[in-house]
Every structure is written in structure tokens, then in C-alpha cells.
């Protein structure tokens, strides 16, 4: 039996969450083989050239491509790749979300891989984050339908894509009981960049992922997130890696609804930010925070600990998440300005 560290295959290597997953894996002693599209492969290889335990490989089409050879020798798969709302039409997004997830799992299973951790979303669990009740459990599903996706609303399209992709995963898992699948379903993700990340070109707000909503808090005319539920990128990455160690004997679907245990009060966040970065006085969003019907998601933290090994005390605090995120945003903004970029008065939104 080999004493080499386990090799984990990570999809979507150029993504914000994947960069944290890769960092967490290497920190915990795993080897990593991570996939990306052709235009990201060389930049990622350059980024990780000083880390011999990380290998970057190309997958041109994760939904339909053949890449079994890239999965040889792999012990488990962490599948983070997912289309973002607004980047594809309705049919393409649904197809890529469902086919992409199943293609990875099916090809991995063919070469003998049995352990899978997949990034889901609370959007597949609940409906509107502003009005729905606060208790979320593994048997809850968003009632949104494929027919509703035809409305063209990109948030609805994204919800449908995430829901039906996850449903397809569980259908496949139940048809293949010898495999061990975990889905990690977080809400909006906030947090700093991973220690190693691709450079962000001036004005490339899409590279900030959902941190664009934190950036929006730094703009007087900005907007608030539609709900208070969130998780720190670093905690979600740790949950993915922790789930690799869960034995398949754990009862029930390992469908983990994941969110910070802290409540989110923007007035407290702003006070903390101004204390940490006094220069923010006068440039924060000028509208008062909305009144949300709750300040955090009520999730099953016992189940989170059972499957991921994470206790409530292991999570980053709200203050840590927002201060660390804003520090990185301001550092990035400084670099952009030094390169002649003029920060706009309004920001694009991923919502």
C-alpha cells in the first residue's frame, strides 16, 4: 500500500472557491490535480509553480469531454465548477450544470473513484432569501421549476440550474450505492483571496465572485445583499476537505446545508470596518440596512460537524470575514488606481 498523500481532483481551478479548496488541501497534506479551461491552464501553472504537490490539467469541455486519463490515480473528486448567472442562455446553463456534474462523476466512477464532494448552494434548498423562514434542512428543496427559468431572470435561472444539477447528482448516487457523495450547500460566499490566486485585471469585477456584494458596501450608491445568510470562502473550503474524511457509513444523504453561525448586522459590520480602516468613513453605502426577517440561517450544525468535522468555533467570525475581505478589496483597488483605472460610482451585480 502506498504511503503517498492522497491525490484529490478539483474542478474549476480558476474559481474563487476552488483557489481556497486547493490551498486547504495542500495545507492538510493532500496532493492536488486541478482542472481548468485552456486559457487558464498556463496562468495557473505559473501561479502554482512553487508548489510541487499541485498539478494543473486542461479540460476543454467538462460537460461532454472525455478525460478519464486525467482521473487515473485519483482518490477523490471535489467538484466546484459551476456556471454563473448571466453568462449563458437558459438552456445552455441548465444543460452545462447538469451534464457537467454528471459527466465528472460518471467518468470518475469508471476509473474506480468512489468519493465525491460537490459544491451546491442554498438556492437549491430555499426560495427567496428575504422572506422565507429561517430553518433549512437536508430534505428541503426550492420549489422553483424549469418553466420559471424561461422568465429570463438570471437569479431564477441560476436557482433552477443548481437545483436540477443537484437532483441529478442524488439520482445518480442512489443508482450507484457503492459511491460516496457529499454536497456542500452554502449561501452567498464572502472572504479574502486565497494566499495564491490569479491576478485580477483592473475593472474585472466578475473575478471577485460574490465578493462584489461586499465591494458594493464600499460605494455610497451601492446595494445590500438580498438576505443576511452567508458563509466565508475559507470555511466552505475547509468543509469540502473535511468531508473527504467522512466514512460512507454515515447515515442518510450527506447533503450539508452550510452557513455561518453568526448573525449578520450591517450596522455592527460598518462600525467594525471603520475602526479597522478609518479611511472608509464617508465612502460606505449611504442607505440604511434593510430589515431582514432573520439575521442568520438556522441549519443543522450537528450534521455539519458529523460530516465535515467543523464545530461552530471553527468558523470565521463575521468581523473576521468582512475585515479580511475589505482589506483585500482595498489593496486590489489601490493597485487598479496605480494602473490608471478609475473606480466607478456604481458596480455591476451578479444578482
**pLDDT of 210-259, one tens digit each?**
999 999 999 999 999 988 999 999 999 999 999 999 988 777 789 999 99
The pLDDT profile of the chain, 351 residues, written as one tens digit per residue, is 456 799 999 999 999 999 999 999 999 999 999 999 999 999 999 999 999 999 999 999 998 899 999 999 999 999 998 755 555 677 777 888 888 889 999 999 999 999 999 999 999 998 665 555 557 889 999 999 989 988 878 788 888 888 999 999 999 999 999 999 999 999 999 999 999 999 999 999 999 999 999 999 999 999 999 889 999 999 999 999 999 999 887 777 899 999 999 999 999 999 999 999 999 999 999 999 999 888 999 999 999 999 999 999 999 999 999 999 999 999 999 999 999 999 988 887 655
CB 184 within 8 Å of CB 259: no
Q: Is 219 in contact with 347 (CB distance < 8 Å)? A: yes
Cell of residue 137, nine digits: 434542512
CB 296 within 8 A of CB 317: no
Q: Quickly tell me which residue has 489601490 as its cell.
A: 334
Decide if 194 contacts 19 (C-beta within 8 A).
Answer: yes
pLDDT of residue 132: 52
| Model pLDDT, residue 349 | 64
User: With contact defined as beta carbons under 8 Å apart, do 257 and 122 qualify?
Assistant: yes
Residues found in the chain: 351
pLDDT at 1: 40
C-alpha 150/C-alpha 163 separation (Å) is 15
Burial bucket for residue 298 (CB in 10 Å: 0-12, 13-18, 19+): middle
Per-residue DSSP letter, 238: H
User: Residue 274: how many CB atoms within 10 A of its CB?
Assistant: 14
| CA 62 centroid distance within chain | 18
* CA nearest to 122, candidates 86, 166, 84: 166
Write 321-325 long-range contacts (CB < 8 A, 24+).
321/190, 321/191, 321/230, 321/232, 321/260, 322/190, 322/214, 322/269, 322/272, 322/273, 323/272, 323/273, 323/276, 323/277, 324/191, 324/192, 325/190, 325/191, 325/192, 325/211, 325/214
* CA–CA separation, 247 and 250 (whole Å): 6
* Direct distance between the N- and C-terminal alpha carbons of the chain, in angstroms, rounded to an integer: 49
Provide the β-strand partners of residue 230.
Answer: 188
Other beta carbons within 10 angstroms of residue 49's beta carbon come to 10
**Contact assessment for residue 44 and residue 56, using Cβ atoms and an 8 Å cutoff:** yes
Looking only at Cα atoms, what is the longest distance across the chain?
Answer: 62
Q: CB-based contacts of 94: which residues, under 8 Å, 6+ apart?
A: 146, 149, 157, 160, 161, 164
CA distances in angstroms from 267 to 22, 55, 262, listed in the order given = 34, 43, 14
Distance CA 5, CA 75 (A): 10
CA angle 54, 59, 62 (to 5 degrees): 120
Amino acid at each position: 500500500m502506498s504511503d503517498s498523500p492522497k491525490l484529490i481532483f478539483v474542478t474549476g481551478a480558476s474559481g474563487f472557491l476552488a483557489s481556497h479548496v486547493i490551498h486547504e488541501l495542500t495545507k492538510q497534506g493532500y496532493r492536488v490535480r486541478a482542472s481548468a479551461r485552456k486559457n487558464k491552464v498556463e496562468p495557473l501553472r505559473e501561479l502554482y509553480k512553487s508548489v510541487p504537490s499541485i498539478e494543473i490539467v486542461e479540460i476543454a469541455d467538462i460537460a461532454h469531454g472525455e478525460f478519464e486519463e486525467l482521473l487515473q490515480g485519483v482518490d477523490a473528486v471535489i467538484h466546484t465548477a459551476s456556471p454563473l448567472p448571466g453568462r449563458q442562455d437558459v438552456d445552455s446553463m441548465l444543460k452545462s450544470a447538469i451534464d457537467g456534474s454528471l459527466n465528472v462523476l460518471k467518468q470518475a466512477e469508471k476509473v474506480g473513484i468512489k468519493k465525491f464532494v460537490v459544491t451546491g448552494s442554498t438556492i437549491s434548498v430555499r426560495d427567496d432569501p428575504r422572506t422565507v423562514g429561517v430553518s433549512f434542512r437536508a430534505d428541503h428543496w426550492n420549489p422553483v421549476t424549469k418553466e420559471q427559468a424561461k422568465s429570463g431572470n438570471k437569479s431564477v435561472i441560476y436557482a433552477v440550474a443548481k437545483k436540477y444539477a443537484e437532483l441529478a447528482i442524488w439520482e445518480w448516487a442512489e443508482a450507484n450505492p457503492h459511491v460516496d457523495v457529499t454536497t456542500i450547500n452554502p449561501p452567498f460566499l464572502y472572504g479574502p483571496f486565497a494566499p495564491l490566486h490569479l491576478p485580477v485585471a483592473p475593472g474585472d469585477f466578475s473575478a471577485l465572485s460574490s465578493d462584489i456584494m461586499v465591494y458594493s458596501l464600499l460605494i455610497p450608491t451601492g446595494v445590500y445583499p438580498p438576505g443576511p445568510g452567508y458563509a466565508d470562502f475559507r470555511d466552505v473550503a475547509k468543509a469540502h476537505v473535511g468531508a473527504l474524511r467522512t466514512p460512507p457509513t454515515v447515515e442518510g444523504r450527506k447533503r450539508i446545508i452550510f452557513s455561518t453561525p453568526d448573525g449578520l448586522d450591517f450596522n455592527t459590520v460598518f462600525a467594525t470596518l471603520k475602526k479597522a480602516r478609518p479611511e472608509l468613513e464617508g465612502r460606505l453605502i449611504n442607505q440604511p440596512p434593510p430589515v431582514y426577517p432573520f439575521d442568520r440561517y438556522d441549519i443543522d450544525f450537528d450534521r455539519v460537524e458529523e460530516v465535515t468535522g467543523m464545530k461552530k468555533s471553527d468558523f470565521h467570525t463575521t468581523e473576521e470575514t468582512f475585515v479580511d475581505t475589505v482589506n483585500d478589496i482595498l489593496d486590489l483597488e489601490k493597485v487598479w488606481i496605480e494602473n490608471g483605472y478609475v473606480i466607478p460610482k456604481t458596480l455591476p451585480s451578479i444578482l
